[in-house]
Amino acid sequence: MTIMDYKRGSGEFLNWVVTESAFDSRYLGKCESIFCQGNGYMGLRAALEEQYVGETRGMFVTGTFNKFDDGEVSELPNFPDITKLMISIGGHPFGMDRGTIKNYERTLNLKNGEVTRSFHWTCDKGDEFEFRFRRMVSMENEHVIAAAVEITPVTEDIQIEIESGIDGTVTNTGSQHFSEGAKRIYENRFLEMISETTQSHVLAAVHAAHKIFTDGKPAEVTLLPIIDRRVIRIRYTVNVKKGSTLRFEKISAVHTTRDLKYDGWKEDDAREDMKLRAGQLLMDICEKGYDRLLKESERKWEKVWNKQEVKISSRNDFDQLALRFAIYHLNIMVKKDDSRVGIGAKALSGEGYKGHSFWDTEIFILPYFMLTQSETARTLLEYRYKCLKGARRKAIENGYEGAMYPWESAWIEDGEVTPLWGAADVVTGETLKILTGLIEQHITADVAYAVWQYYIISRDEDFMERYGYEIILDTAKFWTSRLEWDEEKGCYGIKDVIGPDEYKEHVDNNAYTNHLAFYNMKLASKLICELKAEKPVVYTRFQEQFDLEELGERLTECIHKLYCPLPEKETGIIPQFDGFFDLKSIDLTKYKKSSVVGTIYNDYNMEQINSFQVLKQGDVVVLLYLLDDLFSEEIKRKNYLYYEERTLHDSSLSKATHSVLANDLGLKEEAYHFFEGACCIDLGTEMKSSNSGIHSASVGGIWQAAVMGFGGVRVTSGQLRINPSLPEEWNELEYRIVWRNSTLVVTVTRDEVKILNQGKEVTVIVGKKELLISEGAAIVESI
């Protein structure tokens, strides 16, 4: 069952619009999330204006984390709502679940970020109306949200009432993060709610103003201000003639004392300045009105698309739409100039995962930014640098040295924020302890891996000297303290972890973790030697902090003696961890076929799942993708086939990596199948799986599957390789990447690849050839 339609765009909007083609109050969450609007500073769920049971209104402002009480972890609070309108027509509340609806359509226009909804409504009494709702979050001014509603009575003159304002009763599933605060209405027009987060003391100012017209002229209205507990609004009453259009505009502004502007300010000064500016901005934007604000924002979107578009000529138009959907969300999920904030696993589109950042950023999202917007990638890695303090604290708390990155991160000072308790065990009924914060440790190496990838792609020496080296050295130091001597094996191992496959807990020597830890330590060891020889000043600086001689020696010892699982002689399969092959095999058909994830939990508890050869998501497969040149193609193929058969893809991170690897191995149909699967994680027919927010790693994965997979981009051994291979369904793929400050426009057809270099001379490996492409030149190679 789906009410989504992806074929409605035409002309200049062909493959640009995502449409909800019918209203069904059972599935409100899907479009609230996937139609989320934003600009990196804030994200606004696309809850409908009028209220329905089951809706989840949500507005999240990056970095405003708050901890509700000691039993909870820091989370992104849900801001006072400005989307709700209470509309009464002829004295009766309006709702699409009353009367009859015709010609319903709600769309997200990916080109300009606008969400519109239109339909013809016949009320129970038989009177008819045309409705049109529009909403935008500005890309031009990150503080601005605007909405417009048009109502045209078709059959009768009618009295329309609209109650609109700021609603501070919203919570994060019951946790109220804001104080009651101060509420005020100025000049019967401007509404203000200033409240404060209860623990982090972030002051949030939400402002709103209204403009009301009939047939383009200011309307005659009567109004009633209402100030109540946590609520402030105005009720407008207007008489509208048959055939006339009532247009109601609501212009809002959101500011907080956590805004980047106030970084380092004295608290009182920030509060005063923020209130002043917020008020002034509201006057300004109210003057501009919806249409001008939209135009301004559209111009910013145009710039994004001019630089970021990936063009696909496919038999399935959906592929192009899905790529645009991914790029749209990638561009609204991150505040590109603020290194105090990361990317949430649900971006800013829902409460899921509490706004926390995971390895999703480094492994699944950052490649997009590294290869298209280097500055944003740098900002995101600086965020990890700023989180070092918390990582060091976590290491000490766990009895280790160096930097042990939190599995889940929130505000830079928060450290580990993984909740302690999760769902109930289906067998025992007891609440399950979440172990990832304690033993899913590969994230520490993932961060170091991403730092180095960024450097290889950008050659940003300044970043390395200020932040990069320190992250790599301190994470490597952590691993040296983390390894345990294994008498039996006669080498070091890493015991009691969770690898990327979270269906296995308390495992020893997880292949992914061990290989990435090895990579992290080897990299640090190499950098110590290089710094000593080539950058003595930097070396001396770190010498003081780390005792590099001693660290170097420890690293050498650890690298030589760390056990990294290798392919078994007879089978060529790398054990995912010690004893994986001894686990029981069960029939997974039912779970593999299910369109809903996690159904295995309906039948088994974690202890049982732990004893089966079943994977939640790629584990060894991700290792083979990241450390591309570690194993031969034959080994990769064997492992891919072996593990895929046992993988349920119950994490949204799984399918995109499988697509890339399958394509590398020439398994074209599978590669395309997994690409489509990744695209359908949010856009698919499953109507509830996005309820708590979009899947930001999967959105990054869609881009990777297209550009790294079919587009063949890989950064291995310090070099850029482009070995594309299109799926049967595609005729052409065009993408842009930035390699060492040069923009390359890559056009792939079925039998050729053309690389146009818009920057300085670069070297690219295509097939087995190393090609020098000079400034402004293009090369064409057969594939």
Catalytic residues: 502
The side-by-side arrangement of strands in the sheet containing 762-766 is 713-716, 719-722, 762-766, 769-773
Q: Is 359 annotated as a binding residue?
A: yes
Q: How many residues bind ligand BGC (CB under 6 A)?
A: 12
Specify which residues 217 forms β-bridges with: 214
3-class secondary structure, 284:
helix
353 binds ligand BGC (CB under 6 A): yes
Judged by CB under 6 A, the stretch of 34-42, 68-76, 95-103, 358-366 that binds ligand BGC is 358-366
Strand partners, 150: 132, 247
The answer to whether 616 is a known ligand-binding residue is yes
Q: Which of 65, 119, 121, 358 binds ligand BGC (CB under 6 A)?
A: 358
Among 166, 345, 511, 713, binds ligand BGC (CB under 6 A): 345
Which parts of 440-469 interact with ligand BGC (CB under 6 A)? none
The verdict on whether residue 265 carries a ligand-binding annotation is: no
Dihedral over alpha carbons 458, 461, 464, 467 (to 10 degrees): -100
690-729 binders of ligand BGC (CB under 6 A): 697
Which residues 639-678 are close enough to bind ligand BGC by CB under 6 A?
A: 651, 653
- 319 vs 501, which CB is nearer to ligand BGC? 501
User: Which range in 12-20, 149-157, 190-198, 351-359 contacts ligand BGC by CB under 6 A?
Assistant: 351-359
- Residue 615 engages ligand BGC in binding (rule: CB under 6 A): no
405 binds ligand BGC (CB under 6 A): no
- Give the shortest CB-93-to-ligand BGC separation in angstroms: 39
Residues whose CB falls within 8 Å of the CB of residue 3, separated by 6 or more in sequence, listed in order: 20, 21, 22, 23, 24, 27, 687
Q: In angstroms, what is the minimal distance from the CB of 360 to ligand BGC?
A: 5
Among the residue ranges 108-116, 296-304, 352-360, 714-722, the one whose residues contact ligand BGC (CB under 6 A): 352-360
- Alpha-carbon distances of 438 from 145, 399, 418, 444, 484, rounded to whole Å: 40, 12, 9, 12, 17
Interaction between residue 625 and ligand BGC (CB under 6 A)? no
Instruction: Indicate whether 617 belongs to the interface with ligand BGC (CB under 6 A).
Output: yes
Give the amino acid at 362.
E
How far apart CA 62 and CA 299 sit, in angstroms, is 23
Burial of 481 by CB count in 10 Å (0-12 exposed, 13-18 middle, 19+ buried)? middle
Do residues 476 and 523 touch, judged by C-beta distance below 8 A?
Answer: yes
Phi, psi dihedrals of residue 771, rounded to the nearest 5°: -115, 135
Nearer to ligand BGC, 15 or 689 (CB): 689
Site string for ligand BGC, 497-536 (x = CB under 6 A): ---x-x----------------------------------
Could you say whether residue 619 binds ligand BGC (CB under 6 A)? no
Shortest spacing between CB 333 and ligand BGC, in angstroms? 13
Distance set, CA 94 to CA 163, 466, 545 (Å): 12, 57, 65
> How far apart, in whole angstroms, are the C-alpha atoms of residue 370 and residue 381?
10
Based on CB atoms, which residue is closest to ligand BGC, 349 or 651? 651
Region of 108-116, 248-256, 354-362, 679-687 interacting with ligand BGC (CB under 6 A): 354-362
The token pair that represents 112 in the structure block: 């300009």
Extended strands (E) in 483-530? 484-486, 491-493
Q: Helix, strand, coil proportions of the chain in percent (round to 5)?
A: 35, 25, 40
**Cα distance between residue 281 and residue 269, in whole Å:** 18
Query: Between β-strands 742-749 and 421-424, what pairing exists: parallel, antiparallel or unpaired?
Result: unpaired
Residue 617 labelled as part of a binding site? yes
**357 near ligand BGC, judged by CB under 6 A:** no
Q: Which residues are annotated as a binding site?
A: 359-360, 616-617
Which residues contribute to the site for ligand BGC (CB under 6 A)? 345, 353, 358-360, 500, 502, 616-617, 651, 653, 697
Q: Which residues are annotated as a binding site for substrate?
A: 359-360, 616-617
